[in-house]
Amino acid sequence: MEAGRSDGWGHEVLVAGVPPVFGDRTRDACVVVPGIMGSVLEDAATGRPLWGVDLATLTDALTGEALFTALRGDAREREADAATARRAPLTRIRATGLLAKPWWLPVFQGLDPYSKAVEVLEKVTLAREAVAPFPYDWRLAISYNGALLARAARAHLERWRERVAAVPEWRAAGEARPRLVFVAHSMGGLVVRAALEQDPELAADTRAVVTVGTPFLGSAKSVLALNLLHAQAKPGRLVRRVQAMAASLPGVHDLLPGYRCLDRGLEVERLTAGDVARFGGDRDLAARSLGEHARRRADRFLLPGHRAVVGEAQPTVQSLEEQHANLSVVMGRHHAFDVGDDGELVRDPATGIPARRDASGDSTVHMPSAGSGTEAVHYVFGQHGTLMRHDESLRQIHRIALERPQRTDLGDGTGAGPGLETPHLGGTLGAPLTLTATGLDTTAGVSLSVRSATTGRPGHPLVLRRDPDRTDGALSARFTADAPDLYRVTLDTGRHPPVTQLVLVTAPDA
């Protein structure tokens, strides 16, 4: 028998009766959907970059002010929904691609690019064109972007099916028609859910949805972003800009927690639109978002083939508490509340106080929120914004794309593991930053390092010591930057995949 020849995609093709040998690849089409902040945005009329291109725009006194003002939602953008997307899509700001470099914002903290996840999928599909990124204007409502995604995913699947049908060797690899695999980070998982809710035929054509750190029940941290001006005695320039932008955006309000999170001592309540407005948000946008949470609690829509990658062991804001001296100031708390099968709060039988529990999370989304709606959960010790470049997350994406048996030993879901805390508002040049490692019994074999995320230049070695101000035995180190920059903090235990986070250090405000 004659040897086979390559078809140019790494597959052996039938020659003179030799059976074809196909590589370990999927015939399906893949769509990568980023999270909030994860798409590059530009002014559609002028082509001027508005987001995700130059970090200097975050801190520049004049340019930054103009760009953040341009990013605020206008009247049409605030009202846009799924019907708007289908009838007359908005055109003022355009999403041009996935984030290609590390980014950072106060409260939201660091976000890594999506290039590694795209590369993983390109290696396991029949051709790179089977993988389509879906950049979107994350400022806008999830329902609006869901409608756009439904249309884009359908077009991508039809193009890919035509491509597969045109190649005899690919047709021979299997009888089933290609379907869709969605890989979504953070808010992107909510956009996928909206798309499949709106288009049942697309849901039927979807084999799997992989969500990474998606806040299905919302994130209490979104309230802290809206509360920035109230909570800071002297808010810096960047903080002021971020709060003004966040308060105008439907996308930020769509991340509001829909679970019971407002701690009032003997009671724990869900947020109301009035609460959100008092904390610095928009009443109408909040009412729409919280109404969607109520609808979903009743509908219980399930994503097809859903697998959730959930970050654990990171200190995570899970509930909120008002400062009684100033009810417009809200503080984040690292505990959640147990709810029984009857929907009622679990209480201490002796005192009647609601049972508080640290449910842990990925520093932005607590575990119950990220794992809601599926029993196929893969736990990872990792921070929210860096999960999409985490080795274990990438391994899961690879395996699920190939429909391999899933590992479930990526953590035990108990929150017992290495965690990392960095200042969520960033730092100022000349002022030391406190970097904290949690969940560790010893410093033996543990390293904490800092290097520039823009140039790779390493910082000074750090020494971890027990923090006398902490009751949880955490280890802390101090780092003073010698230049304004975006820095990557890495905690390496030698026993787990490293945990990383980004932190921005700026020059002092004038």
Task: For residue 406, give both structure tokens.
Answer: 């899933």
**Could you tell me what percentage of the chain is helix, strand and coil, using 3-state DSSP and rounding each to the nearest 5?**
30, 25, 45
Same domain, 329 and 465: no
Residue 334 falls inside a structural domain:
yes
Please tell me the distance from the alpha carbon of residue 205 to that of residue 200, in angstroms, as a whole number.
9
**pLDDT tens figures, 432-465:** 999 999 988 777 888 899 999 988 888 777 888 8
Same domain, 395 and 440: no
Per-residue pLDDT of the chain (510 residues; tens, 9 = 90+): 444 555 444 555 555 556 655 567 899 999 999 999 999 999 999 999 999 988 888 877 667 888 999 999 999 999 999 999 999 999 999 999 999 999 999 999 999 999 999 999 999 999 999 999 999 999 999 999 999 999 999 999 999 999 999 988 877 655 678 999 999 999 999 999 999 999 999 999 999 999 999 999 999 999 999 999 888 877 889 999 999 999 999 999 999 999 999 999 889 999 999 999 999 999 999 999 999 999 998 888 999 999 999 999 999 999 999 988 788 999 999 999 988 888 788 998 888 899 999 999 999 999 999 999 998 999 999 999 999 999 999 999 999 999 754 444 444 455 568 899 999 999 988 899 999 999 887 778 888 999 999 888 887 778 888 888 777 778 899 999 989 999 999 999 888 889 999 999 998 886
Same domain, 36 and 175: yes
Same domain, 485 and 371: no
pTM of the model: 0.90
Same domain, 488 and 347: no
Same domain, 473 and 360: no
Same domain, 369 and 480: no
Burial class (CB within 10 angstroms; exposed 0-12, middle 13-18, buried 19+) of 374? middle
Please tell me the distance from the alpha carbon of residue 393 to that of residue 402, in angstroms, as a whole number.
14
Residue 99 falls inside a structural domain:
no
Same domain, 239 and 278: yes
Q: How many independent structural domains does the chain possess?
A: 2
Using the 3D structure, point to which of 395, 415, 435 is the last residue of a domain: 415
Using the 3D structure, point to which of 415, 439, 463 is the last residue of a domain: 415
Residue 421 falls inside a structural domain:
no
Specify the pLDDT at position 407.
Answer: 44
Same domain, 370 and 447: no
Pairing status of strand 206-212 against strand 180-185? parallel
Residue 14 falls inside a structural domain:
no
Pairing status of strand 206-212 against strand 465-466? unpaired
| Domain encompassing residue 494 | 426-506
Rg (CA), the chain: 23
DSSP per-residue codes, 406-453: PP--S--SS--S-EEE--TT-EETTSPEEEEEES-S--TT-EEEEEET
Residue 105 falls inside a structural domain:
no
Specify the pLDDT at position 439.
Answer: 87
Specify the pLDDT at position 405.
Answer: 45
Same domain, 386 and 250: yes
* H-run or E-run covering 81: none
Residue 95 falls inside a structural domain:
no
Q: What is the CATH number of the domain that holds 37?
A: 3.40.50
Residue 150 falls inside a structural domain:
yes
Same domain, 214 and 124: yes
Same domain, 378 and 451: no
Residue 337 falls inside a structural domain:
yes
Order of strands, sheet of 93-98, starting from the edge strand that comes earlier in the sequence: 49-51, 39-43, 93-98
Pairing status of strand 499-506 against strand 427-428? parallel
DSSP per-residue codes, 98-124: E--S-EEETTTEEE--SHHHHHHHHHH
Please tell me the distance from the alpha carbon of residue 265 to that of residue 267, in angstroms, as a whole number.
5
Q: What is the CATH number of the domain that holds 433?
A: 2.60.40.10
462 backbone dihedrals φ, ψ, rounded to 5°: -110, 145
Using the 3D structure, point to which of 364, 395, 415 is the last residue of a domain: 415
Please tell me the distance from the alpha carbon of residue 484 to that of residue 505, in angstroms, as a whole number.
5
Specify the pLDDT at position 321.
Answer: 95
